[in-house]
Each structure stands twice: as structure tokens, then as C-alpha cells.
Amino acid sequence: MSIHIPFRQITCFLLLALLAGVQANTAQAGQGISQYGKPKYADGFSHFDYVNPNAPRGGTLTLPNPGQRTSFDKFNPFTLRGIPAPGIELMFESLAEGSADEVSSVYGLLAEDIAVAADHKSVIFRIREGAKFSDGSPVLAADVKHSFDVLMSGQAHPRYKTTFGDIKQAVVLSAREVRFDFKNTNTELPILAGTLPIFSHNWGKKADGSMMPFDQMAFETPIGSGPYLIESFKAGKSITYKRNPNYWADHLGKPLNIRVGFYNFDRVLYKLYSDDAVRLEAFKAGEFDALVEYRAKIWAKGYVGAKFNDGTLFKKAFLNHNGAGMQGFAMNLRRPIFQDPRVRQAVGYALDFEWLNRQIFFDQYGRINSYFTNSDLSANFDGPRKPTEAELKLLKPLKAKYPQWVPDAAFGPMPPAPSTTPPGSLRQNLRKARALLAEAGWQYRDGALRNIQGEPFRFEMVEDGPFFLRVISAYVRNLEKLGIQVDVRTSDFALHQKRMNEYDFDMTTIRFQDSQNPGSELWDRFGSQAAKEKGSDNVIGIQSPVVDALVEEITKAKNRDELRAATRSLDRVLWNSYFVVPQWYNPTHRVAYRKEMRYPEPPLYYSAEAWIMQNWWKEGSQ
């Protein structure tokens, strides 16, 4: 199926296509493109439906540190080493940007027109004449090519080379026209090319005109096109962004449709706190405006008090329609101890989710039963069932070619995660675990679970900070009942990230980013090549020709049905390989905020932090 682009201004693109060596009848042009069918918003739309186009601008949005980072040591978010400043993404933009109320569509941001070749082997972006970087220089095709070339070099984080690996090259056609050529036919690639972050070729230029190596840039002020500039910062503790008074999208003569209702604050201030308890007390004391809470106990017991009672502070759980993805205790397959799938399955039986949900989580969570939980892309979205004919068409040839890489269980109903809900019990689950471990050659003797060489089953679990220790302790107690010894190590965010980049762990907690339309990012998450590159998302170390083949099918899908069959097939293989002990997901976004804060109706698919940043405003702002 071809990507639909509204027919507009085709005459100039006929000439452009000829100059690019492409058939003159192979492209159409428009602001929006969709991977499958038509984009929701036609050319000329005034604004996205989920924003308040009349939101007042002004005031300062003060936020705490996102996630667990407690400091930062660079402004360059595109390199492997170091911790980037929170909010630094406010300084960068891309050629196109997606909407939060649909999947697989993007709309021109820096680009005013997008022309996709009919064979999907290339895409041409025409850059808006008024688009400018923060230093006042125009955004040109040469900057786009520079950004692509740098991110694909060895100086940038390896994930860019993996994610954008199917883009062959960026070709400058004219001052404001750039073409991306693709190595393969993949309907996602035009959209992926549009999301490439763009920065000026002058970023990192020294006074003598020479360029600083990209991977050595730390606190060199970024030259991007985003709506904010760095106003001030305190080494690793806080950073303030101010609205760029010359932000290009505010000076086009008329509102830019995909920026209407966005970025309503004059300033954005991030304050970094040492831990969750300090952050919560700071919120109650009025030090910042809003935060997203990820800990069930704190949400249930911490967000109380006089200011919540008198309406100074509010807490609200917004319904979460996002695909929940996968969160769990990930095993490092690079370690011999976890290479046997029976061992991996066995350690999963030791996690008692029902007890945790009841005793620690205040029954706020649902169990993860898929790598695509809370999505129709999950193999058990419509209940436990055998593969469809479309799934079997993918799985059977792979089973014949690589029998050891396709578990037999992939052809049956998707098994749920182990449960202790009656008539099940932890005792029964541990018995199943002992049987599996015995099959794998592990027997309990001399006070520990040992292999045939007499070596004890012992591994290290590394975690980012102490906040997860109560959950881990409960899990470790059950593992100890099997004779397994676990050494738990916690560290600060920077050290933990370094260990993840080096794959220096046995087991750790992972959280794979949600996606309503998975595609090329799966190469970085599950691809064999990514497992060999430091800093990739493939922390598990999966190197499977079957997984590679199914990821390729996902990226090649021409419609939603093909995507669904491919993701469900991948789900069956990953789930029944027991690479991760699945944990839980939250069916809501927990947000607490001050009474002055206002927001529009939330869109279907969104990150709560980004939604606050992009679409909220303050009452009384001018």
C-alpha cells in the first residue's frame, strides 16, 4: 500500500524528481504523510484536535528531574558518554513531527512539503523558507545532511546508526531540498527520516574555524531550531530555558498549524532532587508545578495533606491508552548462567506479582503478558489463542529453518505470566521452577543450587537507586527458596547507565519504550547487530536469526494487518523464549499539579511528561 500524500504543488516536484533521477510520476507532495492509508489531518488544517488553540502564553513552568537522573554533565544528547541536561530536547526539532491522536503519521515541521517516491525508495523534504536556527542562520539542506552524517558516524550514540541504518544517504538537491535514499523498501522509512533531529553544521565550531569532535562536545551551547534557549544553569543541579524571542515558527506571518497550542510557557525550569522523597516534599512546599508519579505506594500514601485538602494541589489519574510494552527483570544472555531457556523460565516462577500488587502496589497495576501489552499488536490481545494463518505463514518457515530459535510453545495459545491466584500458589510455581532447573542440570546440595561441576547458582542484580529494593527483596526471597543466591547492587543514575552501556550486569530492570507503531527501533532493541554494539537498547543480548527476520517483516509491513501478524509472531517468539521476567504496567498516568495549572483533554497516545511540557498552560498567564 502506498503512503497517501495530498496532491499539491506537484509541478515543481516533477522537475525536482527529474533532477534527482526519479521518474516524474513517482511522487506526490503534501505536509502530512501516513505509513498506512491517509493521515488524519488534511493539508491546511488549523491545529491538532487535542490542543487548546487559545491557550495563553506566559509564566514559568517549574519541573523536577524526570526519571532517576539527579545530575547532568553535558548539553549534547546525541553521544554515548555522559548524562544530558533534562529538557535539552526543547532546543532541537526535526523535519516532521507526529500527532498524538493517531499512529504512523507525521506532518511537516521544518519541512513544508514531503514527497515520497511511489516505490518508497526515497523521500524528498522541502524546508520552510522561514525556518531558522537559534543563531539566526537559516535551516538548509546542508544542515540536514550534516546532521544525518554525524549521527551515523562513530562519534554519535550507536543507537542512531542502528535505528536509521536502512537510510542509505542524504543528498542535497538544492539549498532547501534534501532527499533521503533508502537501502530497502520500507513504508516506515519516510516517516523515520522525517524524525531525524536536526542541528546546525556550525555547532561545535571553534573561533579559529576548526570543528570540535562531536563526541567531545559537552557544554557547547547547542545550535538547534527549537522554541527554547538555555538561559542559565547550575552545574548538574538546575537548568532554565527561556522562549527564544526570535523562534522562527512565531514569525511566519500566520500560526504554524502543528505549533498552535504548543509550548505555552515563557520559561521552563528544571530542578534536580536527590531522591523521590525529597522531590515529593519539595512539591508539597510549592517548589515546582507538576510531576508524574511512577511509584504506587507514594501515589497512594504520599500525595495527601492540607494542600491537597484545600485545593492548592491536585492529583489525577488519566487513562492510559498507550501500548504498555515490556517492563521486567531482564537477563543478560551474554552470561552463561542464563543461556538455557529452562533456567530463564524457572526464575520467572519466583516472582509473585499478585502478592506484590496486593501488599505493595495497592492493586494499582495490571500484569504484563506480552511485549506489546495494552495494544492490538499483542499476540494475546483478544485472549489466549493459537496463531492465525497470517502468523503461521511467518512462523512455520522460520521453525523449519531455525528450529532451535522458534519455541514449540509459539504455536499454541499464548501462556500467561505465572500467577499465584487460587487455585495457583507460589508453592506450586516454585515446584515447577525446581523441575525446570533439574532438567537444566541444577540440583540443590550442600546448601545451594549447583550445577554438575558443583558451582553454585549465583548472580548479581544491579539497579538504579534504592527505590525498587522492597520489590527486589520479595523476589530475591523466593529465589533463595530455590537455592539461588542473588547479590543486589544499587548505584546512582550515572554509574548505572555506564554499566548498562557496557552490558556489565547479570540481571536488571528494563523498561522498553512504548510504541503504537513499532518499526526500525526494534533493530536497536532486539537486533543481533545491536547486541554487539555498546550502548544499544539490546541489553538482553538477543542474537537470533528468527527475531531478526521478524523485525524485518515488521519494518516491511505494507498495512496494519501485516504489521499485526508480524508483531504477534515476534511476540510469541520473545515471550516463549523467557528473556525477561515480566512485571506490571500502569493503566493510568498519575499526575499531580498545582491549582494554577490548566490542560486540554488528553490525546489518545502520549507521554505524560511531554504532554505537560507541550500543551499545558498556567491560569493568569499573559
**Sign of the dihedral defined by the CA atoms of residues 46, 50, 56, 59, in that order:** negative
* Residue 274, pLDDT above cutoff 70: yes
What is the distance between the alpha carbons of residues 160 and 153, in angstroms, rounded to a whole number?
A: 9
* Residue 3, pLDDT above cutoff 60: no
Of 455, 468, 551, 460, whose CA–CA distance to 503 is shortest?
Answer: 460
What is the distance between the alpha carbons of residues 388 and 121, in angstroms, rounded to a whole number?
A: 31
97 close to 6: Cβ distance less than 8 angstroms: no
Task: Give the pLDDT band of residue 401 (cuts 50, 70, 90).
Answer: very high
Per-residue pLDDT reduced to its tens digit, 186-227: 888 999 999 999 999 999 999 999 999 999 999 999 999 999
Q: What is the rounded average pLDDT of the residues 417-421? A: 97
Residue type, 542: I
* Residue 162, pLDDT above cutoff 90: no
Predicted pLDDT of residue 622: 58
* Residue 445, pLDDT above cutoff 80: yes
440 close to 430: Cβ distance less than 8 angstroms: no
Q: How far is CA 565 from the centre of its chain?
A: 22
Distances (CA, A) of 546 to 12, 42, 173, 531, 570: 44, 39, 39, 15, 9
Domains and CATH numbers, the chain: 10-259 (3.40.190.10), 332-368+385-416+424-578 (3.10.105.10)
Q: What is the rounded average pLDDT of the residues 426-434? A: 98
* Residue 514, pLDDT above cutoff 80: no
Q: Which phi and psi (to 5°) does residue 305 adopt? A: 130, -175
136 close to 246: Cβ distance less than 8 angstroms: yes
* Residue 4, pLDDT above cutoff 70: no
Per-residue pLDDT reduced to its tens digit, 314-368: 999 999 888 888 999 999 999 999 999 999 999 999 999 999 999 999 999 999 9
Whole-structure pTM value:
0.83
* 485-491/458-464 β-pairing: parallel
Question: To the nearest 10°, the Cα dihedral for 162, 516, 332, 426?
Answer: 180
Per-residue pLDDT reduced to its tens digit, 461-488: 999 878 789 999 999 999 999 999 999 9
- Count of Cβ atoms closer than 10 Å to residue 310 Cβ: 9
* Residue 70, pLDDT above cutoff 90: no
- Count of Cβ atoms closer than 10 Å to residue 593 Cβ: 20
The residues that bridge with 584 in the sheet, in sequence order, are 367
What is the distance between the alpha carbons of residues 45 and 388, in angstroms, rounded to a whole number?
A: 39
157 close to 79: Cβ distance less than 8 angstroms: yes
* Residue 1, pLDDT above cutoff 60: no
Q: How far is CA 355 from the centre of its chain?
A: 29
280 close to 307: Cβ distance less than 8 angstroms: no
Q: Which phi and psi (to 5°) does residue 494 adopt? A: -65, -45
- Count of Cβ atoms closer than 10 Å to residue 18 Cβ: 11
Predicted pLDDT of residue 7: 29
Predicted pLDDT of residue 29: 62
Task: Give the pLDDT band of residue 184 (cuts 50, 70, 90).
Answer: confident
Of 24, 6, 4, 8, whose CA–CA distance to 16 is shortest?
Answer: 24
**If you write DSSP's letter for every residue of 147-174 in order, what string do you get?**
HHHHHTSTTS-HHHHHHTTTEEEEEEEE
